[in-house]
Structure 1
Amino acid sequence: MAYLSIALELVALLLIVATLLPLIPTNLGVIRSLDFPRLQIAVALAANCVGLLAISRDGTALTLAVAMVAALALQASYILPFTRLTAPQAKGAGLCRPDDRISLLVLNVLQSNRNYGAALDLIATKAPDLVLLLETDAGWHAAMAPLRAHYPHRVEHPQDNTYGLLFYSRLPLRDPTIRFLLQEDVPSLRTTVVLPSGEPVTFYGLHPRPPHPGHSSAPRDAELVVVAREVAKTKDSTIVAGDLNDVAWSHTNRLFQNISGLLDPRQGRGLFSTFHAQYPFARWPLDHIFFSEHFLLSDMQRLNDVGSDHFPIWVDLCRAPHAPAQQVAPEASEQDHRDAEKAIEAVR
């Protein structure tokens, strides 16, 4: 029992350190990566605390138990807004005129995944107005050719470095542009989508590089800030979507929302964890769809596995004149603007 107690105490220390390290303001990938598994760390903290107290009640065990409870509370504070225990940030839509609706499917296909038929079948079943496919190489570009019959407007930019993108739209596009905001091999999309009502919607499709041990989070963070600042300047109807390689509860995502003023439909509804599709015990919300206060949420779903390491995410939105009066858009503080400037400076 003594050896087991020591083992649980060591695990407790590791979990507490893993909880505290992300509080450090740094771009180090090894630390920023700890933002991702907050739910998993929270579960491990609870289990380890119960296990330790079950076999030992000495001073060390009790001290670690208190520290683990505090760490668990900290982790829960990040996760709680993305549960049904809080009020939704984006309000639900009631009746919506067909001309004001817009639906979007986002899928990181996993470049090495060759189950093209599953992706095509899913798109045919959901029939979204917009389709954003990420990690698409020449093989995916060729395989998605059948979509062109149903999506007359498209932007196709396949690449073989896992950062290619394909965008298909039933709705007319204005000025579609592939941009390389910070890295010459990481494209993003900016375009205007015209609703059947004639209202323009600015759409951004993003897939920045993820942080990981040995790779800084700075390019990802800065790319999100650059787009957030653009959105804040326009005040137009806007949708930002993609695999952001960042979790919903991270400081970077909160900063993005505060600077841009966009709403997160996950808040108050659930995690909708999209990665990793094959490992239920290691999932977190990486794929996002943010939108401006001009929209209400008709529906949001995490769709079935299509062979990728990501699940597809799907939303149905309603652009409503009364929507801004029903919702409170995030606002940036002076500290947010300082943090945004630091994020830009980090890559200069």
Structure 2
Amino acid sequence: MHFAIIATAVGFIVLATLMPLSRLAVWWIRDFDFPRLQLAVLASALLIAQLVFLDLSEFVSHALITITAACLLYQAWWIVPYTKVFPHEVKVAISNDSADRIRIMTANVLTPNRNTDGLIALIRKHEPDVFVTLETDAWWQERLDVLEDDYPFSMKCPLDNLYGMHVYSRLALEDSAIQFLVEDDIPSMHTMVVLPSGRKVRIHFLHPAPPSPTEHDESTERDAELLVVAKSVKGLDTPVIVAGDLNDVAWSTTTRLFRKMSGLLDPRIGRGMFNTFHADHWFLRWPLDHLFHSQHFTLSFIMRLPSFGSDHFPVLVELAYDRARGAEQEGLVPDADDEALAEEKIAAEPVSEADVHEPQG
């Protein structure tokens, strides 16, 4: 009985480990990119069970242990960079010049959630320079507008389809545009933020739809949107930030491809996963809300904020402009296969990097 249960569990872990290796974009394959931490924990527990219950004098027992250990190591390869045992990809900020810092908060509010007071309290406590809300409709907009005295610059796109988006800023916004890059009802926001020092930062806020049985059968729409934005910012001399709920985990093939094609850095590397979804289920959490930035910045801090009733936790990040030290930072570098895969994913949708608004300020 023990052997049958263990062998079945090993078969499941092997299947879950091999599935994401496929380049197929169908949702039931791509969703196996998400639970790598959970699969690693399950593999660890299974190894303990194998050592306790299997007859270690049998060859088949050693085979099951070896296969499980291999799956565990493979899953760990993806998630260990998002732990404190890994070197930082982004340096700790040392500059004290507040005029060259920017603090950004992202919050997927969950449209039916009515705890606006909870979110507003977090905003007033942490005082972000810019905050972006996702899934905000006209009801949410009316209540967030009480912050307009403190955040006089804004971009607003209230929608009732769970893809509304709002940006509020204390800092001036220039050459802003709301676009529907891939789908007619899913917006993205693109703007130039002017720091107190006068330095200008190009920011793209995104919230593409996920692959799921209730959204899209495939991940093509999400992947194409991420990658055209990635290509549009690669190699820019202007400081760049891309943030939002990308409906993809930090360690997925697509997010890693986004990092390679954009050249942007992930401040979570070496610091933690900062899992933001699902706020109500500790055992089913992964990092869906992201902020990536160019080498121009170092990191003051990154933190996950308390829940305010949404299924997502908000995230607060403060970056410091430090071009000299930032130039020493290195992210992921694409190879020929990555370039080809990016082109293939972009070609699946009627969009190109030329369609992405490029704020000039």
1:69 is displaced (CA, Å) by 0.5
Match for residue 355 of structure 2?
A: none
1:321 is displaced (CA, Å) by 3.1
Match for residue 333 of structure 1?
A: 335
1:283 is the counterpart of 2:285: yes
Residue correspondence of structure 1 range 302-317 to structure 2 within 5 A: 302-317=304-319
For these two proteins, the number of residue pairs brought into alignment is: 346
Q: TM-score, normalised by structure 2?
A: 0.93
1:30 is the counterpart of 2:28: yes
Residue correspondence of structure 1 range 5-16 to structure 2 within 5 A: 5-16=3-14
Match for residue 345 of structure 1?
A: 347
Check conservation: 2:34, 2:286, Cα contact below 8 A: yes
Pairing partner for 2:16 from 15, 18, 21:
18
Q: Which amino acid aligns with 1:277?
A: A
Match for residue 144 of structure 1?
A: 144
Check conservation: 2:230, 2:259, Cα contact below 8 A: yes
1:233 is displaced (CA, Å) by 5.3
Structure 1, gaps ≥5 residues long: none
Distance 2:331 2:269 in 1: 13
Match for residue 227 of structure 1?
A: 229
Kindly report the root-mean-square deviation, in angstroms, between the aligned alpha carbons of the 2 structures: 1.2
Q: Which amino acid aligns with 2:330?
A: V
Check conservation: 2:275, 2:287, Cα contact below 8 A: yes
SS of alignment partner, residue 64 of structure 2: helix
SS of alignment partner, residue 327 of structure 2: helix
Q: Which amino acid aligns with 1:15?
A: I
Q: TM-score, normalised by structure 1?
A: 0.97
SS of alignment partner, residue 168 of structure 1: strand
Q: 1:329 to 1:20 in 2, by over 3 A?
A: closer
Check conservation: 2:95, 2:322, Cα contact below 8 A: no
1:235 is displaced (CA, Å) by 3.4
Residue correspondence of structure 1 range 28-177 to structure 2 within 5 A: 28-57=26-55, 58-177=58-177
CA shift digits 1:173-219 (9 cap, x unpaired): 10111001101111000000011111110010000011124621111
Check conservation: 1:9, 1:61, Cα contact below 8 A: no
Distance 1:236 1:55 in 2: 59
Q: Single out whichever of 44-53 and 162-171 deviates more from structure 2.
A: 44-53
4+ aligned runs moved over 6 Å, structure 1: none
Q: Which amino acid aligns with 2:181?
A: L
Distance 2:88 2:42 in 1: 28
Distance 1:32 1:145 in 2: 38
Structure 2, gaps ≥5 residues long: 351-361
1:251 is displaced (CA, Å) by 1.0
Identity of matched residues, % = 44
Q: Which amino acid aligns with 1:60?
A: V
Match for residue 323 of structure 1?
A: 325
CA shift digits 1:284-340 (9 cap, x unpaired): 111000011001100110111111111111111111231333312433222221111
Q: Which amino acid aligns with 2:169?
A: S
Distance 1:49 1:269 in 2: 27
Q: Which amino acid aligns with 1:84?
A: K
SS of alignment partner, residue 111 of structure 2: coil
Distance 2:194 2:102 in 1: 10
Check conservation: 1:12, 1:49, Cα contact below 8 A: no
Match for residue 356 of structure 2?
A: none
SS of alignment partner, residue 111 of structure 1: coil
Distance 1:292 1:321 in 2: 10
Distance 1:275 1:285 in 2: 7
1:246 is the counterpart of 2:248: yes
Distance 1:294 1:339 in 2: 27
Check conservation: 2:223, 2:345, Cα contact below 8 A: yes
Q: Which amino acid aligns with 1:308?
A: S
SS of alignment partner, residue 326 of structure 1: coil
Q: Which amino acid aligns with 1:298?
A: S
Match for residue 294 of structure 2?
A: 292
1:255 is the counterpart of 2:257: yes
Q: Which amino acid aligns with 1:224?
A: L
